[in-house]
Structures are given as C-alpha cells and as structure tokens.
C-alpha cells in the first residue's frame, strides 16, 4: 500500500490510534489529534452524545472511558479520499460492548474530526437478514398459536398483567420510529398517544400543510417511502403512512390514551405512569420513560391584554384547521415563521383578507434553493446516484461537529442571498425584516440553536412581496373586541391566529411529572451558542436530546424526521443496554444551566 495515498494515510493513522488505545494510553492517542480537533461520540465510548474539542478534552475522555470500553480492531471501510488538504474515510471498530462505525478526517496537523457511533450491541443484535425469525415452527403442535393469536395475546397482557420496559409518551413520527427500533431490539414498549389513530397528529393540522423537507430527507427507519412518493408529502398522506407503518412494524400503540401523571421511584428504579385508555384508567410501571411529544408539544401562547374580550375567533396555530369558512373575513396571523406563512397563504387562497404580524426578523429560504444549495449533495436523486444512501447521508451530516458547522453553512447562504436577491429585495421593500442567522449561517444552524425563526418558502413569500398578504411589523400591544393593536395601529379582525411557536420540551415534563423534575433536567434543545434564544455556555450537542438527563430513567426524543430517524438508533441502543443489565457509565452527564 502506498503510504502517501489517501487510503495509506488513514490506515496508518488508525493503526497508531489502535495501538495507543489497546495499550490504554489516552495521552498518546490524544497526541494524534491536531490542536484544533473534534471527537464526536454517539454512545460507543461515552454512553452519551458528546463532542470533545481539542487533545486535552479527548485525553480526559479516554482516561475516563478506556478501562471499560476496550476499543479495538480499528479499520478503514472502503477507500479514503482527499481534497483541499483533508483526507477522509469511513471507519469501523469494536468495543467490549458492541460494534461501531464512524468517519475520520485528518489534515497536515493530525486528526481533525472523528465520529464514533455505536451500531449494535454484541449478543443483542437485531434479528435481520440471515438471523431473521423463521415465522413458523414446522411440524405438528396441538398447542400451536398463530401469529395473529400471539399478537392478540401481547395486546391483551402488555400493560396489564405484564409491564413494558419502556413507555413512550407521544405517538407522532418520532415516537413511532423509536418504537420500531425498540421493537426490533426486543424491548417491550407501549406508545401512548392522545389521538385515536396513528397519524392523527398530522391529519388534525391545517389542511394545506405539507412537509417542507424533501422525501429523501424524511424516510422512517427500516421502511423508506416508495419511489413514486412525492417530494413534499401532504399531511394526510403522511398520516396514512404512519398508520400503516405502525401496523407493519407491529407496534403496541395505545391510541385514544391520555397520560395523566408520572412519578419516579428511585428505590425501585421505575416509573408510575397513570393513563386513561379509551376512558378507563390504567397504571403502567416502566423502567424508562421517553417523552416524544416533539418540538411542538407545548404551545407558546402569549398573554396579550384584552384577549378575553375579543368578539371573533382567537386560537393558537396548533388549533387552526384551515381557511374554509373565512372567505371575505378579516384574518390576522401573529407570527412570521413556517406555520404563519402557511396559514396566511391558505387563508388568502380561500378568499380571506389576511394580515401577517411580524414581531422579529425571519430567515427566508426558498425551497428550490435550499434543495439545490444545502440538501442536494446528501438528500436527492443525485446523491443516491452517487452512492450516498440515507444512512450515509445521515452519517456525513453527523460527522460535522456543531462548532464548525456554521462555517460550512455561511458560504451556502451567501450564495442563496445572491441567487434569490430579487425576492429578498421585494420583501424588504414591503418592510419585511429579513435575516440569515446572527452569523449568516442560515436555516440549519438557526433550527439547531432555537428551533424557530425561519420559513422554507413554498410560495407565501411571493404573496407577501406582492402585497397580497398584508404585513404589519411591530409588537402586539393589545387585543380589542374587534381587532388587534400592533405598533399603535388597530387592525380589524374576525380571526386572530397565534402562530407564536412552542415552548421547550421540558414544559411537558413539568405538566406530566413536576416542575421540580423539569427544572432538574433543564432546557431542551439548543447548544449554547450564545445567540438569541440559545444562551451559553457552549454545550457542543443539543441539550438533553436522545441521551441521559439529570433525571434517572427520563429521556427526550424529537426533532424533524431526519433527526428522529437517525438519533433513534442511539437512544434505542442505550435503552436496550440498560434492559439487558450492561454497564452504561455515562461520561459527562448533561449539566443544567437553564430551567426553560
């Protein structure tokens, strides 16, 4: 092998890393990394989601974890590549507990970025391929139970005479996808959902709602959408897919079930979760409780003076059903992000007189431009033709530590700003407040930092730019019996929609468990960037998502379809390891800096 080739360089570096780690010499391993370097680990070393920055942090992590992890057999998978002074390749390795995969970049100074992820637990692998279940026991058996009877038995006993190991609260796409992974790992799980049917959380939204992310970005675990699936799926189509998926993946899904309360018994190491299923109270006692109510679980409803005196219809965007019945009516939508734009456009299409109230600047990214400039290289037909599968795309995205992600995004959005200059100029002429993130890093970073503040334009921005959707910029001062006062001007209204977003996910923990537990866990989402709505200190990973929290046995799962799909791998493996009694020493448990 040519030692100076990309493959030779990666192979040699991995051999040095393997030797140092096998010898238990964390200091020697850390010296292989450049002064500016990052090791991002998903569960394989830290039983956590954690990014170490620089050789000092890497050495500290290795000193704490090497005795138990015992990493070995590091190897390059396929050929390495090289561009602009950076050599990179896909890697595989083993630990005492499992098998891992990852990605490595090295530069002239040493290791630059290393991603290590746990792929499977030894002895507890998913049954698939050659190890799949036979499905039937050949031969004669007078006590034979059919598949249907076994499923009926499970449905009749789990949660009643037998307790689940996991209860997932929230049966949207996140809870369903995670439930599928746990099912494949043999973890007894019940998904609790207030709506009657899987997919109802989509069906119940405003009727014009479609996914703003493209199909290649949005696959569920195990079952990708068929090749004819539309690029941007309508909400009811997604709802039907989720309902079918739940049946195919054989999930224990308790629809029409409300979760009343949950409390943790530290001595027993179990939760008491009280639910009402189809009108009947049931008490569940899982060891692990996962809140999968997502980013849109607790509506943020501002306290606007005079709201109680409004004579028209006033509701949050989560309760808005669509534009039917509002023809010729005066409608005011407070907010200027995704839902606000969608609702305004839908009301305009139904003949309403629509005003959008913008309270602060919004990042606008045209869908076509976002596809071409930001997503296409990883999630598109072109990407698939280039051999980039959904999983590989997820791993490439994960291989970029959050510290350096903004720097990779700034050029993308600078190009977008120039490409769509005409739209942006026309919006600003109307008085619309635009931004591209506080550092110019655009949509993805804004989403990771705060989960809001943007609109993926699928047409509403043109309506604003053309004046078809009216715009009023300023603070909402009060609501009158017949309208809303913004920046000193009263806007008459028959309908006011509060498209004011959602609170932190730990707000649901406060409602379900207690404010004390919610405060103990702290803020969910954001990475401590020090930007608006994402206060420091720097975390390096999203707060409290898909990893252990300060409350034993409590986990948070959510995000978009891409995040739910990818990170459910690591959350399910953490749960499975605990169920099987494996040692799971958590390195650098998430600290609490902000309560909400």
Q: What is the pLDDT of residues 510-522, one digit of tens each?
A: 999 999 999 999 9
State the Cα–Cα distance between residues 282 and 264, nearest whole angstrom.
Answer: 17
Length of the chain, in residues: 596
Enter the CATH code of domain 307-498: 3.50.50.60
10 Å CB burial of residue 11 (0-12, 13-18, 19+) is middle
State the Cα–Cα distance between residues 396 and 421, nearest whole angstrom.
Answer: 30
pLDDT at 206 over 90: no
**CATH topology classification for 6-121:** Nuclear Transport Factor 2; Chain: A, (3.10.450)
State the Cα–Cα distance between residues 574 and 397, nearest whole angstrom.
Answer: 21
Can you read off the two tokens belonging to residue 184?
């494949």
Give the three-state DSSP class for 15: helix
- What pLDDT score does 299 carry? 86
Q: How would you classify the pairing of strands 476-480 and 483-486? A: antiparallel
> What residues does CATH 3.50.50.60 cover in the chain?
154-297+504-580, 307-498
The number of beta carbons lying within 10 Å of the beta carbon of residue 128 is 10
Per-residue pLDDT band for 1 (boundaries 50, 70, 90) equals low
- What pLDDT score does 467 carry? 97
Percent of the chain beyond pLDDT 70?
99
pLDDT tens, residue by residue, 280-339: 999 999 999 999 987 666 788 999 999 999 999 999 998 998 899 999 999 999 999 999
Can you read off the two tokens belonging to residue 437?
């993130």
The pTM for the full model equals 0.96
Give the three-state DSSP class for 166: strand
pLDDT at 92 over 90: yes
- Preceding amide of 537 cis, omega within 30: yes
* Strands (E) located in 443-572: 454-457, 470-473, 476-480, 483-486, 489-492, 495-498, 554-556
Q: Give the least confident one: 140-144, 276-280, 304-308, 472-476.
A: 140-144
State the Cα–Cα distance between residues 139 and 366, nearest whole angstrom.
Answer: 61
Max alpha carbon distance in the chain (Å)? Answer: 83
What would the mean pLDDT of 553-576 be, rounded to a whole number? 97
> What residues does CATH 3.10.450.50 cover in the chain?
6-121
Sign of CA dihedral 380, 385, 389, 395: negative
Correct CATH for 154-297+504-580 of 3.20.20.70, 3.50.50.60, 3.30.450.20, 3.40.50.1220: 3.50.50.60
Per-residue pLDDT band for 531 (boundaries 50, 70, 90) equals very high
């Amino acid at each position: 092998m040519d030692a100076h080739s990309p493959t030779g360089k990666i192979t040699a570096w991995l051999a040095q890393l393997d030797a140092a780690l096998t010898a238990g010499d964390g200091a020697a391993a850390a010296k292989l990394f450049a002064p500016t370097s990052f090791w991002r680990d998903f569960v394989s070393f830290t039983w956590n989601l954690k990014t170490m920055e620089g050789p000092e942090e890497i050495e500290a992590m290795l000193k704490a974890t090497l005795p138990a992890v015992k990493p070995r057999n590091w190897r390059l998978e396929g050929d390495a590549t090289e561009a602009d002074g950076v050599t990179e390749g896909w890697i595989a390795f083993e630990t005492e507990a499992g098998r891992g995969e990852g990605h490595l970049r090295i530069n002239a100074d040493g290791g630059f970025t290393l991603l290590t992820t746990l792929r499977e637990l030894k002895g507890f692998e998913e049954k698939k391929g050659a190890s799949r279940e036979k499905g039937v026991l050949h031969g004669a058996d007078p006590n034979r139970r059919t598949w249907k009877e076994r499923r009926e038995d499970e449905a009749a006993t789990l949660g009643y005479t037998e307790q689940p190991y996991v209860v997932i609260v929230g049966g949207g796409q996140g809870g369903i996808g995670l439930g599928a992974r746990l099912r494949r790992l043999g973890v007894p799980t019940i998904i609790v959902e207030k709506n009657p049917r899987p997919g109802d959380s989509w069906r119940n939204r405003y009727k014009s709602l479609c996914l703003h992310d493209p199909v290649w970005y949005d696959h569920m675990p195990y079952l990708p959408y068929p090749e004819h699936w539309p690029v941007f799926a309508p909400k009811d189509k997604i709802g039907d897919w989720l309902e079918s998926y739940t049946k195919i993946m054989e999930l224990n899904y308790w629809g029409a079930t409300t979760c009343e309360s949950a409390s943790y018994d530290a001595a027993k190491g179990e939760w008491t979760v009280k639910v009402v299923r189809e009108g009947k109270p049931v008490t569940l006692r899982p060891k692990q409780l996962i809140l999968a109510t997502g980013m849109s679980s607790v509506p943020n409803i501002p306290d606007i003076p005079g709201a109680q005196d409004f004579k028209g219809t006033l509701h949050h965007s989560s309760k808005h059903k669509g534009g039917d019945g509002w023809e010729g009516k005066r409608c005011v939508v407070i907010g200027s992000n995704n839902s606000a734009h969608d609702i305004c456009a839908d009301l305009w299409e139904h003949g309403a007189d629509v005003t959008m109230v913008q309270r602060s600047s919004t990042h606008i990214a045209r869908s076509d431009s976002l596809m071409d400039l930001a997503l296409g290289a990883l999630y598109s037909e072109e990407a698939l033709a280039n051999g980039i599968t959904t999983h590989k795309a997820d791993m490439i995205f994960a291989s970029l530590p959050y510290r350096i992600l903004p720097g990779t995004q700034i050029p993308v959005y600078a190009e977008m700003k120039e490409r769509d200059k005409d739209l942006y100029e026309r919006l600003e002429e109307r008085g619309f407040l635009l931004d591209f993130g506080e550092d110019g890093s655009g949509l993805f970073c804004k989403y990771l930092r705060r989960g809001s503040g943007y609109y993926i334009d699928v047409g509403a921005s043109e309506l604003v730019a053309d004046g078809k959707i009216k715009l009023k910029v300023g603070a909402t001062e009060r609501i009158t019996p017949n309208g809303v006062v913004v920046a000193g001007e009263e806007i008459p209204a028959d309908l006011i929609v509060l498209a004011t977003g959602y609170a932190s996910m730990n707000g649901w923990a406060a409602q379900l468990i207690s404010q004390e537990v919610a405060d103990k866990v702290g803020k969910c989402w954001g990475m401590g960037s020090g930007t608006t709505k994402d206060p420091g200190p720097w975390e390096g990973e999203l707060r409290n998502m898909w990893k252990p929290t300060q409350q034993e046995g409590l986990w948070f799962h959510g995000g978009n379809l891409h995040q739910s799909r990818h990170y459910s791998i690591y959350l399910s493996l953490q749960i499975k390891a605990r169920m099987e009694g494996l040692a799971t020493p958590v390195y650098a448990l998430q600290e609490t800096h902000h309560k909400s």
